[in-house]
Amino acid sequence: MGKQQQIKEFLLDLKDKEGDAFVWNEEVLFAEIEQKTSNNSTLAIKVLSIFGGLLATLAFLAFLFISGLNDSAFGLVFFGILFIVLSIIGSKMYNRIVIDTSAISLYTIGYALLAFGLSQMHLEETLCCFLFIVIAFVALNIVSSYVFSFISFLIIFSSVIAIININDLYNAYHLITLVNAISLFYLFQYESIIMVKFRKISFHYEPLRIAMICSFIFMLYLVSTGFIFHISFSLSFISSIANILLISYFIYLAKETLNIVTNSVLIWTVLAVALLLSPTIYYPAISGSILIMLCCFRSNYKTGFSIGVLSLIYFISQFYYDLYYTLLIKSILMFTIGIIFLICYFITNKKLMNNENN
């Protein structure tokens, strides 16, 4: 059965359930399906577009510096704006995956030229970042291609980080991490609300989701390891508590699917999770990675789930590497946690077996 036929039947089924009030724009819907199937995009294609675009940008910047064209501030700003406008118009007019690489190259080269030009004009850096955020928002409002939106979200996010860093507002990193955790949770948990009530966001839902995961992992890295900027760790517990509360709320919402029938089991489960994560209270990266894993697993989002697993492995290793304890104490800690997990495995395994048999 063809895709269109399958969707038609699905829509008719839905109409039976939803009643006559349920209507759809068949022409636009099928035109989009037709266009998307001939424009079939996979992860490999998206990654290729992004890496190809960035590699081309690097080669172009090398050209710019060797040729000495970067000396004229006005020229840089002019070409920067021209490239960004061209990439937006191109993507809007030919909404095809084939031109993504060219559009991404033009778009990122445009930002780079603009940044160099404005810095030569001695424009205040914060203002420059705000300008980038505005341009990215305008681009998002016009274009809805996956990689284009993804890069735009990353530009907005990096500009926010840059503003915080330029103005030495280091404690704001904790706030950004907190907001990131809550919005990520909302994005995954209330997908249907976003799709129905926030039409504008719904067109960028998929790129927003992956951009949000990337930015959240970056923030977790910053507030947990503090490798790049001068961040005080005394406030890191805020993000940890938020992550643990969100994980608990996640378990509460999923209690029916997980077959947690009584309140006492629910409370014990939440307590066990909080207790296990409590040693990482000043290292929110671990609870954050678990939150990403859970959200992605529930939504059946494999790419995000793999990113969550890899980040969890990395952050756990980094956590124990950074601990100021002797190897012996670290060993006892890890062995104890291992045994607790094994006990949890055997308890849940027994329960799950019983449930499956019933």
Binders of other proteins among residues 284 to 323 (CB under 8 A) are 297-300, 306, 320
Region of 27-35, 74-82, 162-170, 227-235 interacting with other proteins (CB under 8 A):
27-35
| Residue 34-73 contact track with other proteins, rule CB under 8 A, x = bound | --xxxxxxxxxx-xxx-xxx-xxx-xx-xx--xx------
Pair 101, 52: CB distance under 8 Å: yes
Report, in Å, the least distance between residue 295 CB and other proteins.
Answer: 11
182, containing H or E segment? helix 172-189
Determine, following the binding rule CB under 8 A, whether residue 82 of this chain makes contact with other proteins.
Answer: no
Residue 235 or 330: the one with the smaller Cβ distance to other proteins is 330
Residue 121 or 342: the one with the smaller Cβ distance to other proteins is 342
Residue 93 or 328: the one with the smaller Cβ distance to other proteins is 328
d(CA 129, CA 270): 41
Determine, following the binding rule CB under 8 A, whether residue 332 of this chain makes contact with other proteins.
Answer: yes
d(CA 179, CA 111): 26
**156, 167, 79: which is closest to 116 by C-alpha?**
79
Pair 239, 288: CB distance under 8 Å: yes
Residue 126 or 202: the one with the smaller Cβ distance to other proteins is 202
- Within residues 185-214, the interface with other proteins by CB under 8 A covers 191-193, 195-197, 199, 202-203, 205-206
Report, in Å, the least distance between residue 58 CB and other proteins.
Answer: 8
Report, in Å, the least distance between residue 243 CB and other proteins.
Answer: 17
Report, in Å, the least distance between residue 51 CB and other proteins.
Answer: 7
Report, in Å, the least distance between residue 289 CB and other proteins.
Answer: 12
Report, in Å, the least distance between residue 300 CB and other proteins.
Answer: 5
Pair 103, 115: CB distance under 8 Å: no
- Within residues 95-124, the interface with other proteins by CB under 8 A covers 97-102, 105
Pair 101, 55: CB distance under 8 Å: no
Q: Which ranges of 143-262 does DSSP label H, i.e. alpha helix?
A: 146-166, 172-189, 191-197, 199-202, 205-225, 236-253
- The answer to whether the Cα torsion of 159, 229, 243, 309 is positive or negative is positive
Question: Phi and psi of 300, rounded to 5°?
Answer: 60, 40
| Residue 339-358 contact track with other proteins, rule CB under 8 A, x = bound | xxxx-xx--xx--x--xx--
The identity of residue 9, as a single letter, is E
| CB atoms closer than 10 angstroms to residue 293 | 18
Report, in Å, the least distance between residue 298 CB and other proteins.
Answer: 5
d(CA 259, CA 254): 8
- Within residues 128-187, the interface with other proteins by CB under 8 A covers none
| Residue 251-290 contact track with other proteins, rule CB under 8 A, x = bound | ---x--xxx-------------------------------
Region of 22-30, 170-178, 211-219, 236-244 interacting with other proteins (CB under 8 A):
22-30
Report, in Å, the least distance between residue 64 CB and other proteins.
Answer: 8
Residue 90: CB partners within 8 Å, gap ≥ 6?
A: 99, 102, 103, 106
- The answer to whether the Cα torsion of 194, 199, 203, 204 is positive or negative is negative
